[in-house]
Every structure is written in C-alpha cells, then in structure tokens.
Amino acid sequence: MSGISLRGVSKRYGSVDVVHGVDIEIDKGEFCVFVGPSGCGKTTLLRMIAGLEEISGGDIFIDGRRVNGIDPARRGAAMVFQNYALYPHMTVEQNMGFGLRMNGHPRAEVATRVKDAARLLQIQDLLTRKPRQLSGGQRQRVAIGRAIVRNPQVFLFDEPLSNLDAELRAQTRVELAKLHHQLAGSTMVYVTHDQVEAMTLADKIVVLRAGVVEQIGAPMELYESPANIFVAGFIGSPKMNFVNVSAERDALRLDDGSQLARPQTKTAPQRLGVRADQLTIIDPEKGAIRGEVSVVERLGDSELVHVRTAWEQEIVVRVPGGTNSRVGSTVGLALAGRVHFFDAEGQAITVTSQARTND
C-alpha cells in the first residue's frame, strides 16, 4: 500500500521548467529523503505534496487519494518549515494548538493533544514561553510539536536542521530518527541538501538534480551502486575520486600513461570512480597511480591523505588514524576494493566480471 505517490509530476514557472515529470513511490510509514544541490527542485516537490505550490502537470496521491487541487489543510499532511514559522506573538502552547482551535476542536481536547506532543518532545517546561525566548533547537522541537499535534498521516520537513549549529544538528538528527520509530506508521518526507542527513535518516533516498530524479533507493544501495557519476559524487564523504581513463583492448590507460586491467563491460569505460577508503597507499614503485602527498587531514580515527597525481589531480585516500603520512612524500596508490566505471554520458557501467585491480 502506497503512502504517497507522484506520477509524472512537473512544475513550470512561466516558461521555466523546474521539475520535469517526476515519478516517486513512497510507502506508508517510510522515511523518504529528497536530496540534491540547491535549485534541484526538491523543495518545490515537497511544497507540491503539501499543496502550497500548484501542480503544473501529473498527479499526486496521498493514501490512494488524488490530492491535486485539494486544500493543503485537507491532505492529512503537516509541515515543518526551514525557519520554523512559529507565530511570534503566541506561546508555545498556543502555537501548537492554533490549528486545532481554529478548526473548532474543543479546548480540553486541544490541551491534552498539546500536552502529549510536548511530552514526546520533552518540551513540557517551555509551554508558556514565546518563541523569541527559545533557543534554535527548542524552536525546532516546537515546530515539530505543532506538526505532531495535528496527528497527520504525512510529515513534511523542509530542511529543518539547516539553521542549527553542527553539534545540535547531529543531536537533532538522532532524535528525528527516534521520533520516526515512535510515530510508527506515519510517512515522512524530508528535504535536505546534506547527504549525511539523507544517509543517516532515510529508508529511501531520492536524489534530484535540475528537476530530474537521478536515482531512488535505500541509502546503502545508492552508496554501493550509484546509477551515475552525479549520484556517485553526491553521496558519501569524502567525495568519490574520479579518474579519466581511455579504454584500450584489454587495458585502461590513465593520463600519465600507466595502465590498469580492463574489466569486462558492454561499453567502453571513460571514467573510473573509487572511494577514499577503497584505495591504499603503497610503495611508489608498485602502485597503479603515483603521486605526491599535498595535504593530510587528521580526523583522529582516520586520516584523509590528498595525493597529487602526475596529471595534476587531487585524489583523496582514507588511511587509519596515526599513520602520519608526510606531506611532500611520493607514494603509490592501489585500488583496493570496489571500483565504479562510467561511460561517456556519466552512466554507471555494469561490470560483468571484475578484473583484478591490485597489483
């Protein structure tokens, strides 16, 4: 049974297409994250689901019901805004209960529902305060509380953590994940440009670029087998390394002339992608790629070693913490794990049999 489904949804502002015929199925109870760079149409999509933005083409169904043209309040969805959008002149309690009271719910019922939501979010002590007396994190909770009070089938989050500092963001992220379990059964759609949030929170990630869905899948699915260069580069930190290769009969030639074994593929690979932790630093004489260490980022548990290749490209390698790589030293790199290949259009190429790459 489907929670939300988008079929051929598009959005046009005048003559500018911002969303081009998007199809997305979100299951009931699923936590779905729309992720992509700014301007990719993710927020527009969310606002179309909410009903704040008109749908130019296609259909949106919530719980099997076509909601095009239905008033936002009657779609069974609640939204948490980027800037919280709390009413500055009302107390926390009034903010949370405002929608219910305005729609004629009895005072006592509103009070219990507000109390329940406040307990869930541990903001019982803040109920009589005004928004300007709250910290950013507290405002965030109140905004979520306002959504919970309405008991919606669908929660919509529009970059809810982007105004918080790094520490609070990490903390709130964990709490949102907990909340999703506590509110089992409610579907959540969450928009962010931060792939870490997407990876940590999502059951399903939708990667968008320029109004087009690049890939839909579970976090590890996107991480392990990105459909194209864009997804490969967007998901995962540090960013995947890409190296240009030219395909020869049974080898792949790098820009400095060194060779790698060619895997068996249908089309000829043009680029090779490898994540930082799938590379190892070895003796310069033995490595497939040679380069000079330019920067070392020490993260504690690991080190990110930036290696400058003969063709002036920076490749990042993750090595265990305490390795103490020396800047300026010449090293060799070996492909030590999964390698991704992409064709001229940037689409991933399926490898029919992975060639041995390390030696």
Partner 1 sequence: MRSDAVEKDRGGLPALSPRVKRMLVSIVLAALCAIWVYPLIWMLFASLRPNAMIFADEGLIPSQPTLENYARAWTEANMGSYFFNTLFVTVGSVILVTIATAMMGYVLGRSSFPGRAALFGLLVFTLFVPQGYTIIPIFELLSSLGLGQSLLGVMLATTAGSFVIFVLLFAGYFSQMPDELEEAARMDGVGFVKTFWFVMLPLSKPIIVTVIVMQTLYAWNDFLLPLVITLANPSIRTLSVGVYAFKGENFIDWGGMMAASAITIIPVVILFLLLQRYFIDGLAGAVKG
Q: Does 61 bind partner 1 (CB under 8 A)?
A: no
CB of 72 to partner 1, least distance (A): 5
| The pair of three-digit structure tokens given for residue 334, joined into one six-digit string | 């070996």
- Which part of the chain contacts partner 1 (CB under 8 A), choosing from 45-53, 220-228, 287-295, 335-343? 45-53
Query: Using CA atoms, how far apart are residues 73 and 208, in angstroms rounded to an integer?
Result: 27
Q: Does 124 bind partner 1 (CB under 8 A)?
A: no
CB of 163 to partner 1, least distance (A): 12
Q: Which of 23, 65, 83, 283 binds partner 1 (CB under 8 A)?
A: 83
Cβ–Cβ under 8 Å, residues 238 and 304 = yes
Q: Does 50 bind partner 1 (CB under 8 A)?
A: yes
Q: Which residues, including other chains, have CB under 8 Å from residue 182's CB and lie 6 or more apart?
A: 120
Q: Which of 1, 15, 69, 88 binds partner 1 (CB under 8 A)?
A: 88
Q: Does 73 bind partner 1 (CB under 8 A)?
A: yes
Q: Does 65 bind partner 1 (CB under 8 A)?
A: no
Q: What is the Cα Rg of the chain in Å? A: 24
CB closer to partner 1, 41 vs 160:
160
Pairing between β-strand 246-247 and β-strand 251-253 as defined by DSSP bridges: antiparallel
Q: Which of 307, 237, 312 is nearest to 277 (CA)?
A: 237
Q: Does 280 bind partner 1 (CB under 8 A)?
A: no
CB closer to partner 1, 20 vs 130:
130
Site string for partner 1, 173-212 (x = CB under 8 A): ----------------------------------------
- Which part of the chain contacts partner 1 (CB under 8 A), choosing from 4-12, 21-29, 47-55, 240-248? 47-55
| The pair of three-digit structure tokens given for residue 145, joined into one six-digit string | 């509380």
Strand order in the sheet with 259-261: 246-247, 251-253, 259-261
Query: Using CA atoms, how far apart are residues 292 and 321, in angstroms rounded to an integer?
Result: 19
CB of 156 to partner 1, least distance (A): 8
CB of 103 to partner 1, least distance (A): 5
Q: Residue 166: how many CB atoms within 10 A of its CB?
A: 8
Q: Which residues, including other chains, have CB under 8 Å from residue 186's CB and lie 6 or more apart?
A: 29, 152, 153, 154, 155
Tell me which amino acid residue 249 is. R
Q: Does 85 bind partner 1 (CB under 8 A)?
A: yes
Cβ–Cβ under 8 Å, residues 3 and 62 = yes
Q: Does 295 bind partner 1 (CB under 8 A)?
A: no
φ, ψ for residue 299, nearest 5 deg: -100, 0
Instruction: Tell me the C-alpha to C-alpha distance, in Å, between residue 71 and each of 13, 43, 157, 191, 192.
Output: 20, 18, 18, 21, 25
Q: Which of 10, 56, 68, 82 binds partner 1 (CB under 8 A)?
A: 82
Q: Does 74 bind partner 1 (CB under 8 A)?
A: yes
Q: Does 315 bind partner 1 (CB under 8 A)?
A: no
CB closer to partner 1, 51 vs 217:
51
Query: Using CA atoms, how far apart are residues 151 and 78, in angstroms rounded to an integer?
Result: 8
Q: Does 136 bind partner 1 (CB under 8 A)?
A: no
Q: Does 69 bind partner 1 (CB under 8 A)?
A: no
CB of 265 to partner 1, least distance (A): 49
Q: Does 103 bind partner 1 (CB under 8 A)?
A: yes
- Which part of the chain contacts partner 1 (CB under 8 A), choosing from 31-39, 75-83, 182-190, 265-273? 75-83
Instruction: Tell me the C-alpha to C-alpha distance, in Å, between residue 18 and each of 36, 45, 137, 211.
Output: 13, 10, 32, 5
Q: Does 13 bind partner 1 (CB under 8 A)?
A: no
Q: Does 81 bind partner 1 (CB under 8 A)?
A: yes
Q: Which residues bind partner 1 (CB under 8 A)?
A: 50-52, 71-74, 77-79, 81-89, 98-99, 102-103, 146, 150
